[in-house]
Amino acid sequence: MFSYLGVVIRMKYEIIIGLEIHAELSTKSKIFCSCTTEFGGEANTHCCPICLGMPGTLPVLNRKVVEYAVKAGLAMNCKIEEFSKLDRKNYFYPDLPKAYQISQYNLPICRDGYVDIDTGSGRKRIGITRIHIEEDAGKLIHDDESMSSFIDYNRCGVPLIEIVTEPDLRSSEEAKAFLESIKAILQYTGVSDCKMQEGSLRADVNLSIRPVGQKEFGVRTEMKNLNSFRSVVRAIEWEAQRQIEVIESGGSVIQETRRWDDNTGMSYSMRSKEEANDYRYFPEPDLVPVIIDGKWIEEIKKSLPELPDVRKKRYMSDYGLPEYDAWILTRSKALSDFFETAVSKSKNVKAVSNWIMGDLLRILKEKEMEVEDIPFPAEYLARLVDLIDNGTISSTIGKAVFQKMFATGKEPEVIVKEEGMEVISDETELNHIVRKIIMNNPQSVADYKNGKQKAFGFLVGQAMKETKGKGNPKIINKLLKDLLG
Ligand code: ADP
Ligand code: MG
Ligand code: ZN
């Protein structure tokens, strides 16, 4: 697959990708009833006759759902339709008790938008075809042991927006960058928490290939419900290769829905692609059309927060951060807010940024924690930076203090006091230590006297070690120089 020949063949083709992204909205209640949208909970406890679709019940549209859809649309540069409606999409599946989903067919709330992404080769504009609202379905839980399947309807009626892109994406990297941007926008606007591990953000990948230079698109396949960036990337790489091999061996790609299996790392044919008319869409008779007046749209527009891209540019111009750092810091709203709070209490922006980009992100990754789980307020980071800048502790010790802050949530000053971590600048004490090091390392002393600068560094290191990293390096340097002549 990754042979030289494979690479050459791969380069003959261009990959075309369009995404359909489902995001669960952060409303308190469901789209057509007052049941909670809270994740989890004992199976079938967040349900009522309406979200279970009992005969005779009537849905009532949650106004907040429309507001959030408009918010997402505006943040993604869409036109907002003042008139839209809901439609019934009919299909049978055990997780859908009504045997239809209330969605939007030909008149979605938002259309014709775009989102700019940063790629290896610069900025690129990805078209948003439409954003519509719909209800989520329940969840099937298959139990191998008892050979049974269980149904949890708690998720039935949780509001979703579906974001459909133009077939503008050309690689798995672009798809990933795009999803990251969408996630950031939805989190900044508060429209969705985008917790992928809870299924709040999932993507369907539509993919086709065509020989480089050909105008017409090839036949596409669709892989449904990918719920991590990693699986989106893997699924794209694998499916593109599969299609190339089909074409190269003289076959043709069949339009179909495929299931991506993260365990085997392969996609499998599920069913031939359904057409819109298979669903027998028709206007939902139990709901009136949605009228959104211009004044409301203006109000929502005014309520939009600073968006990730704008924030990134501000970090570059106001704080002089490199583009990459500004990008990392603004990808997650929680991280960005943490940074902003810390910076507002500190004079050393660059140091705060470095701590976050380095130690903080590393520890979060190691401990598999989210920014929200950081056990101390952002202000403590500013104070830690201050302790280093004013010479109370060395930067090496700072790292240990930081670890302790993560473990205990304690204030940096308290940790420094409790552990006796202050820098030792007392000359008499340091003199003592330096003499001992000189005595114990005659070879290095001789080396240094013979002009080996490295030996000096070694001796400083030994002295620092003796002070458990607390010695003032400037003073140790000076003492060593004096004593060695
Ligand atoms: P459906 O509603 O039947 O899934 P759409 O025409 O609305 O189909 O397209 C769904 C997604 O597929 C969109 O994101 C679109 O950009 C993408 N798409 C359409 N044609 C192609 C193609 N030939 N190759 C890759 N993606 C495509
Ligand atoms: Mg589709
Ligand atoms: Zn309900």
Q: Is the CB of 278 under 6 A from ligand 1?
A: no
pTM: 0.86
Q: Is the CB of 206 under 6 A from ligand 1?
A: yes
The residue whose CB lies within 8 Å of the most ligand 1 atoms, and thus the one to mutate among 19, 172, 206, 247, is 206
Q: Is the CB of 108 under 6 A from ligand 1?
A: no
- Residue 172 is predicted with a pLDDT of 95
- Residue 415 is predicted with a pLDDT of 94
3 state SS of 434: helix
Q: Ligand 3 centroid to 155 CA: how many Å?
A: 10
Neighbours of ion ligand 3 (CB under 5 A): 33, 35, 48, 50-51
How far is residue 290's CA from residue 296's CA, in Å, rounded to a whole number? Answer: 13
- Residue 175 is predicted with a pLDDT of 97
- The number of the ligand 1 atom at minimal distance from the alpha carbon of 168 is 16
Cross-strand pairs, 210: 14
- Residue 14 is predicted with a pLDDT of 95
- Residue 379 is predicted with a pLDDT of 96
Q: What is the mean pLDDT of the chain?
A: 93
- The number of the ligand 1 atom at minimal distance from the alpha carbon of 274 is 3
- Residue 473 is predicted with a pLDDT of 84
Question: Rounded mean pLDDT of 381-396?
Answer: 91
The residue whose CB lies within 8 Å of the most ligand 1 atoms, and thus the one to mutate among 17, 164, 216, is 164
Which ligand approaches the C-alpha of residue 281 most closely?
1
H or E element: which one contains 179?
helix 172-189
Confidence of residue 85 (pLDDT cuts 50, 70, 90): very high
Higher-pLDDT residue of 458, 1: 458
Q: Ligand 3 centroid to 36 CA: how many Å?
A: 8
Q: Is the CB of 131 under 6 A from ligand 1?
A: no
Question: Rounded mean pLDDT of 111-123?
Answer: 92
CB atoms within 10 A of CB 474: 11
Confidence of residue 216 (pLDDT cuts 50, 70, 90): very high
Cα 74 to Cα 13, 140, 414, 434, distances in angstroms: 35, 34, 47, 66
Q: Ligand 2 centroid to 436 CA: how many Å?
A: 74
- The number of the ligand 1 atom at minimal distance from the alpha carbon of 20 is 14
Confidence of residue 276 (pLDDT cuts 50, 70, 90): low
How far is residue 66's CA from residue 83's CA, in Å, rounded to a whole number? Answer: 12
Which ligand approaches the C-alpha of residue 57 most closely?
3
Long-range CB contacts (within 8 A, 24+) of 411-417: 411/376, 411/380, 411/383, 412/380, 412/383, 412/384, 412/387, 413/383, 413/387, 416/387, 416/392
Residues, the chain: 485
Cβ-Cβ contacts under 8 Å for 176 (sequence gap 6 or more): 229, 232, 233
The string of pLDDT tens digits covering residues 149-198 is 999 999 999 999 999 999 999 999 999 999 999 999 999 999 999 988 88
Confidence of residue 73 (pLDDT cuts 50, 70, 90): very high
How far is residue 290's CA from residue 63's CA, in Å, rounded to a whole number? Answer: 10
- Residue 248 is predicted with a pLDDT of 92
Q: Ligand 2 centroid to 187 CA: how many Å?
A: 24
Q: Determine what percent of the chain is predicted with pLDDT higher than 90.
A: 78
Question: Rounded mean pLDDT of 379-407?
Answer: 92
Q: How far is CA 428 from the centre of its chain?
A: 53
Question: Rounded mean pLDDT of 358-381?
Answer: 93
Q: Ligand 2 centroid to 20 CA: how many Å?
A: 7
User: What are the strands, taking DSSP E only, across 273-347?
Assistant: 282-283, 290-291
The string of pLDDT tens digits covering residues 164-176 is 999 999 999 999 9
Backbone angles phi, psi at 108, to 5 degrees: -70, 165
**Lowest mean pLDDT, pick from 47-51, 286-290, 330-334:** 330-334
- Residue 485 is predicted with a pLDDT of 77
Question: Does 277 score more than 80 pLDDT?
Answer: no
Q: Is the CB of 221 under 6 A from ligand 1?
A: no
Question: Does 139 score more than 60 pLDDT?
Answer: yes
Domains of the chain in start order, with CATH, are 4-297 (no CATH), 306-419 (no CATH), 427-484 (1.10.10.410)
Question: Does 258 score more than 80 pLDDT?
Answer: yes
- Residue 174 is predicted with a pLDDT of 96
Q: Is the CB of 207 under 6 A from ligand 1?
A: yes
Q: Which two tokens stand for residue 438?
A: 């000189």
Nearest CA to ligand 1 atom 5: 164
Q: Is the CB of 173 under 6 A from ligand 1?
A: no
- Residue 272 is predicted with a pLDDT of 78
Residue 343 contacts residue 352 (beta carbons within 8 Å)? yes
- Residue 359 is predicted with a pLDDT of 94
Q: Ligand 2 centroid to 147 CA: how many Å?
A: 31
H or E element: which one contains 129?
strand 122-135
Q: Is the CB of 18 under 6 A from ligand 1?
A: yes
Output the CA torsion sign for 337, 338, 339, 340.
positive
- At position 161, the amino acid (one-letter code) is I
Q: Ligand 2 centroid to 274 CA: how many Å?
A: 9
